[in-house]
């Protein structure tokens, strides 16, 4: 059974030794908890796929401690450098032409690599102590809800790994924004995330190709952006608040769990099958709480989960992206 360890100097050293010996360690990041391995070690990387049950055609994100380290593993263009200088360390992943030192197993044999420099202090301390980058997808069984607490990792992968570095709740709570920058002149958003398309477009005075356009043009394949993902074991539906109110009234047997954006004013708090993601509807708070609440509710006896529609603006775009995938069966 995995040991959950606090990020003391000694424990970071322990994690470092573990990773240097081809083992995996679950690590905190500002987005969600990751399952990390030496990205240059084929055997260790294969373990990630095995433990998660992740198909080998789904490429991994490589994590580095700096822009300088990123340059060792991919070919940066001026646009990528500008984005890295603005948003790294942080929740931005860039897809760029890879260098030969990144093994094919990491990138599903694509000639590009997804690379990110994270901001979580503990993860950075670990990365800075290592002579190699870390491949790290979310630390959950493939397709299930991503973990935002050490205990989430222990609940679903605890019998398959040794160490979980615990740094409390993930600060952001959803996965990074992924941008395809192989063509620096026409960057494309592959996965919406905490860093919004609007923010990037305003900062750099450009227009990004949207995930929808990417799918339609088929020009920039991004394997792994599956329709069904991030899913609880119970069926999940996304419903407007006005309709939810009617559903709550009808659901006399309390078979459904209702997850609202914010604390309801109208409903009595004693209704035990009603949950909320934030006090006042603030998007960052919703993002931070979403996966933990979905996991909690998924463990309860309800037969289905009804989530209130989230307004598709700013981080809400990424949240609706994850919820839509969670609702696919
Ligand atoms: P995650 O599932 O959070 O580990 O994110 C990894 C995702 O990044 C994959 O599922 C792909 O959609 C995307 N990705 C990773 N590497 C590449 C790549 N070389 N080209 C395009 N997309 C990639
Ligand atoms: Mg994942």
Residue ranges of the chain whose pLDDT lies below 50: none
pLDDT of residue 221: 60
Asked if residues 19 and 3 have their Cβ atoms less than 8 Å apart, the reply is no
Please count the residues of the chain: 329
Residue 297 CB partners (closer than 8 Å, separation 6+): 232, 234, 257, 259, 275, 305
DSSP state of 50: H
Between the alpha carbon of residue 172 and those of residues 28, 38, 149, 211, the distances in Å are 11, 24, 12, 21
pLDDT of residue 49: 98
Q: How far is CA 310 from the centre of its chain?
A: 18
Ligand in nearest proximity to the CA of 214: 1
Tokens linked to 204? 């750099």
Tokens linked to 194? 């905490």
Verify whether ligand 1 is closer than 6 Å to residue 273 (CB atom). Answer: no
pLDDT of residue 329: 81
pLDDT of residue 72: 98
Query: Among 58, 103, 138, which residue has the most ligand 1 atoms within 8 Å of its CB, making it the best to mutate?
Result: 58
Residue 103 CB partners (closer than 8 Å, separation 6+): 39, 40, 42, 45
Between the alpha carbon of residue 118 and those of residues 176, 240, 308, the distances in Å are 9, 35, 31
Task: Map out the domains of the chain as residue ranges.
Answer: 3-204, 236-327
Alpha helix positions (H), the chain = 9-20, 42-52, 67-70, 78-87, 121-129, 150-157, 197-204, 211-217, 241-250, 283-299, 315-327
Q: Whose CA is nearest to atom 2 of ligand 1?
A: 137
| Domain 3-204 shares a fold with domain 236-327 | no
Asked if residues 107 and 49 have their Cβ atoms less than 8 Å apart, the reply is no
Q: What are phi and psi of 134, to 5 degrees?
A: -115, 125
**Residues 136, 139, 145, 150, CA torsion sign:** negative
Q: What is the CATH number of domain 236-327?
A: 3.40.50.11030
Residue 225's closest CA among 93, 70, 31, 79?
Answer: 93
Residue 222's closest CA among 40, 61, 2?
Answer: 61
**Predicted model pTM:** 0.95
For residue 221, give the ligand 1 atom closest to its CA.
Answer: 21
pLDDT digits (tens, 9 = 90+) for 153-188: 999 999 999 999 999 999 999 999 999 999 999 999
Q: Whose CA is nearest to atom 3 of ligand 1?
A: 137
Asked if residues 40 and 61 have their Cβ atoms less than 8 Å apart, the reply is no
Q: What is the CATH number of domain 3-204?
A: 3.90.870.10
Residue 271 CB partners (closer than 8 Å, separation 6+): 248
**Ligand 1 center to 95 CA (angstroms):** 8
**Ligand 2 center to 27 CA (angstroms):** 14
pLDDT of residue 218: 66
Tokens linked to 242? 């006005």
**Ligand 1 center to 54 CA (angstroms):** 12
**Ligand 2 center to 60 CA (angstroms):** 9
Residue 116's closest CA among 157, 138, 88?
Answer: 88
């Amino acid at each position: 059974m995995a040991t959950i360890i606090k990020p003391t100097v000694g424990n970071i050293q322990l994690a470092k030794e573990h990773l240097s010996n081809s083992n995996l360690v679950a690590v905190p990041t500002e987005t969600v908890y990751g399952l990390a391995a030496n990205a240059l070690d084929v055997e260790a990387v294969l373990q990630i796929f095995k433990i998660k049950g992740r198909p080998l055609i789904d490429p991994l994100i490589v994590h580095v401690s700096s822009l300088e380290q990123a340059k060792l593993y991919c070919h940066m263009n001026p646009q990528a450098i500008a984005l890295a200088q603005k948003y790294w360390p942080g929740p931005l992943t860039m897809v760029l032409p890879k260098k030969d030192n990144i093994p094919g197993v990491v990138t599903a044999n694509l000639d590009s690599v997804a690379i990110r420099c994270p901001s979580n202090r503990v993860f950075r301390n670990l990365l800075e102590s290592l002579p190699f980058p870390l491949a790290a997808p979310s630390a959950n069984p493939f397709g299930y809800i991503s973990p935002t607490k050490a205990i989430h990792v222990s609940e679903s992968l605890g019998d398959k790994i040794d160490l979980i570095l615990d740094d409390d709740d993930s600060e952001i709570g959803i996965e990074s924004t992924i941008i395809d920058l192989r063509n620096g002149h026409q960057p494309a958003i592959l996965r919406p995330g905490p860093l919004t398309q609007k923010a990037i477009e305003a900062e750099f005075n450009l227009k990004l190709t949207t995930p929808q356009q990417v799918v339609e043009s088929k020009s920039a394949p991004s394997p792994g952006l599956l329709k069904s993902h991030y899913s609880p074991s119970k069926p999940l539906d996304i419903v407007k608040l006005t309709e939810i109110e009617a559903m709550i009234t009808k659901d006399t047997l309390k078979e459904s769990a209702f997850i609202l954006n914010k604390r309801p004013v109208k409903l009595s708090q004693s209704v035990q099958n009603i949950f909320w993601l934030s006090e006042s509807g603030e998007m960052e708070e919703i993002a931070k709480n979403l996966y933990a609440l979905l996991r909690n509710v998924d463990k309860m006896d309800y037969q289905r989960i009804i989530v209130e529609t989230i307004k598709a603006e700013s981080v809400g775009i990424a949240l609706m992206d994850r919820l839509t995938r969670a609702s696919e069966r």
